[in-house]
Homo-oligomer: A and B are copies of this chain.
Amino acid sequence: MIKTIESINGVVRMIDQTRLPTEKVFVDCTTIEEVGQAIQTMIIRGAPAIGVAAAMGVSLGADVITATNFDDFYRAMEQQCEQLGKSRPTAVNLAWAIKRMKQVAKDSRHLPIPELKSRLKEESLTILTEDIKINQAMGQHGQTLVENDNVILTHCNAGALATAGFGTALGVIRASVNAGKNIRVLANETRPFLQGARLTAWELKEDNIPVKLITDSMCGFFMRKKEVDLVVVGADRIAGNGDVANKIGTYMVAVLAKENNIPFYVAAPVSTLDLSLSSGDQIPIEERSAEEVVVINNKRMAPEGIEVAHPAFDITPNNLITAIITEEGIARPPFTDSLKAMAQKK
């Protein structure tokens, strides 16, 4: 499996997810600005992967700060972080990683600046390795919800490519396979960015996990035919009450799952929880470019001048969610209590 992101001799290398699966091209970022750009243009995407990239970006930024005392250093770092924090609004892991890096700087204020920079770099690498372990733990909890011969529907890509490795929703699938269960996956193509067709199908094929690709509009058809046993998706931000922001279309999948009495699970690390929000309605929804909807492979598919909407995420209300799988265990309703308990275990 190709690495989603890694740090090589001061260079942050990412696989360009806008060009998979037809082209395997890597993008090297040497500045925090380049990392912000890579996040904004979705060269790297997926809430946990964005968190790792952000931490590595903060370290790249810190490396070029010329200040010789902590206060000046920290002021410069804060400015850089503010800019980076604007690259994408919905996934809270971006803010979470930046906050963690800033805290590390503050906790290490006594160190000489060069050592402080090393400490930040070390922390960014820790976030990467932690992320893989978190996903493996999440997978272990999640696979207890999966039975042999289950068909699992997923939306978007919450896989190795959305994380430092192993994946969240696809981590649950991988852990189920590793536990000896026979699993088949139904993957929504996930318009407009086609993360399902391009990334999930590719990842699962690489791991020899049987996958069938469908358009988003087909998932209800297969649910109604009783050909889906459960749904697992990732999350970009989870409010204190369990409302989940995730890729546009997730709400559609959840409503169809409820109509067909199919369990709907969300797999996400505790870093995706935003307990400062009491409801999903407070989560900012990114509106992306209309071009991403109407231009496919350099060809415009709709008439010129047509108005287009492009909310990149939606909110799935907590009443549609069976359980939220985290690295600390499985949270069930009422989520206001169970999610708080997960966060406190950290």
Contact = CB atoms under 8 A, between A and B. Distances in A.
Interface stretch (A52-60, A100-108, A135-143, A303-311): A303-311
A341 interface: no
A314 B220 CA distance: 9
A181 to B, nearest CB: 19
Given A216-B191, A218-B249, A314-B221, A211 B298 contact: no
A294 interface: yes
B307 A212 contact: yes
B306 A211 contact: yes
A194 B256 contact: no
A262 B308 CA distance: 22
Given A252-B219, A252-B256, A202 B303 contact: yes
A293 B189 contact: yes
A92 interface: no
A213 B291 CA distance: 12
Contacts of A215: 191-192, 216, 248-249, 293
Contact of A294 (B197, B216, B221): B197
Q: Is the interface of A mostly helix, strand, loop or mixed?
A: mixed
B248 A221 contact: yes
Nearest to A21: B303
A315 B222 CA distance: 11
A261 to B, nearest CB: 13
Contact of A309 (B212, B256, B294): B212
A251 interface: yes
Interface in A261-284: none
Contacts of A218: 248-249, 309-311, 314
Contacts of A190: 217
A204 to B, nearest CB: 9
B255 A307 contact: no
Contacts of A306: 201, 205, 211-213
Nearest to A196: B302
A214 B311 CA distance: 9
A299 interface: yes
Contacts of A311: 218, 221
Interface of A: 21-22, 188-192, 194, 197-198, 201-202, 205, 210-222, 224, 248-249, 251-252, 255-256, 258-259, 293-294, 296-303, 305-311, 314-315
25 contacts: A189-B191, A190-B217, A191-B191, A191-B216, A197-B294, A198-B302, A201-B303, A202-B303, A205-B303, A210-B307, A212-B306, A212-B308, A213-B293, A213-B307, A213-B309, A214-B308, A215-B293, A216-B249, A218-B311, A218-B314, A220-B255, A221-B314, A222-B309, A224-B315, A297-B297
